[in-house]
Amino acid sequence: MSGQHHPPRILLAKIGLDGHDRGVKVLARAFRDAGMDVIYTGLWQTPAVTMHAALQEDVDVVGVSLLSAAHMTVMPEILRLREELGIEDMPVVLGGIVPEADHPALKDMGVAAVFNPGSSMDQIITTLKSLGGARRRPDSGALRKGFEARDVRALARTLTAIQRDWELKGWNPSQRGNGSRVVGVTGAPGVGKSSFIARLSRELRGRGHKVGVVCVDPSSPVTGGALLGDRLRMMGQEPDASFFVRSVSSGPVTDGTGPHCREIVDALSAFGFEYIIVETVGAGQADVGIRHLADRVLLVLMPESGDSVQFSKAGIMEIAHGFVINKCDLPGADATLAQLVGAVGDSRPAWKSSTMTDEGFAQVADWVSAGGRAASC
């Protein structure tokens, strides 16, 4: 095993009808600053979607935030799903407004810890790190057997083994399948890469394809922790066994990708995903590592994000096989598209897309399905 430090992975979920998430966002930042990788899934999640996300991410701890006094209803369902999914070794903790009188019953049913608004941050962080560190590594033989049987739990744990450099006793799960296509999606922070990927993935899923997504977010150069928020844009209303999302922190990698990205992509390919989409960190002009990983690279821009001089510069503009002007419902989309085409020519396709108006995704999916040979809009 490598001596590299691997941050604990914590999933934070707001379940039910709580109307705000200010508190849980404060927790997410504190956990990041304590050196953890924090996956936040957003407001109004269901127990089923939350626990399927925890399974795919193979987190060390699931943290549930409840302010609606529904803990005696929600937590039994969370724990039932944990058992049903075969992830009983994944600790579940609860935070929120929970009467002290209910704490014993919650712990008896299997909740590992309960935190009230008065709980200190140091206490919470210490407990999470202790719970996460107590999880046992899976047996490599059982992992391989499950992976080859297409057990998604085994896939998730295999990706963890890859990320953490665990010894697999000669088994190499990272064997690229013959039929998989890898699409890199890159672009500056805020252009809507995650929302674009969510909608493109839905389009591909609607055509009957299995889709895997690898989302890379930046690690703190100070603490090593990360806030992995891309999954937030991709959470559906129901679990989908043929749509798999894995969040990855960039660690020491500085080219827009993360450690072991190639092995993770190849493992998803070997598992049978036909399309694998890799989202880079919010990329700058020189962040071009995705070109060595993906079969095709899409550069996502947004209206008024540059001019003909910016579009003519070397680096990230050069590696794109296609361009997307996302958020095209905003003013300036047509002008930006015209400047882009004027700068880079028409040999590479360019589309406009909008999750608000559902524009462009069918055409991009056609291009992806055709191996990057379709014409632009």
pLDDT in tens, 325-356: 999 999 999 999 999 999 999 999 999 999 99
1 falls within a domain: no
What pLDDT score does 309 carry?
76
* 329/192 Cα distance (integer angstroms): 13
Do residues 85 and 123 share a domain?
Answer: yes
Do residues 359 and 245 share a domain?
Answer: yes
CA dist 121 → 13, 33, 95, 217 (Å): 18, 11, 12, 24
What pLDDT score does 2 carry?
40
Do residues 208 and 311 share a domain?
Answer: yes
| Residue 141 lies in domain | 137-167
How many domains are there within the chain? 3
What pLDDT score does 373 carry?
55
What pLDDT score does 377 carry?
46
298 falls within a domain: yes
126 falls within a domain: yes
Over residues 239-294, the pLDDT tens digits come to 899 999 999 999 999 999 999 999 999 999 999 999 999 999 999 889 999 999 99
Do residues 43 and 187 share a domain?
Answer: no
CATH number of the domain encompassing residue 25: 3.40.50.280
| pTM for the predicted model, two decimal places | 0.94
What pLDDT score does 5 carry?
65
**pLDDT(216) > 60:** yes
Do residues 251 and 113 share a domain?
Answer: no
Over residues 24-40, the pLDDT tens digits come to 899 999 999 999 999 99
Do residues 162 and 26 share a domain?
Answer: no
**pLDDT(191) > 90:** yes
What pLDDT score does 199 carry?
96
Mean pLDDT of the chain: 92
375 falls within a domain: no
Over residues 129-140, the pLDDT tens digits come to 999 998 889 999
Do residues 58 and 145 share a domain?
Answer: no
What pLDDT score does 312 carry?
81
Do residues 325 and 203 share a domain?
Answer: yes
* Residue 282: CB atoms within 10 Å: 17
44 falls within a domain: yes
| Percentage of the chain lying above the pLDDT 90 cut | 79
Is residue 203 within 8 Å of 361, Cβ to Cβ? yes
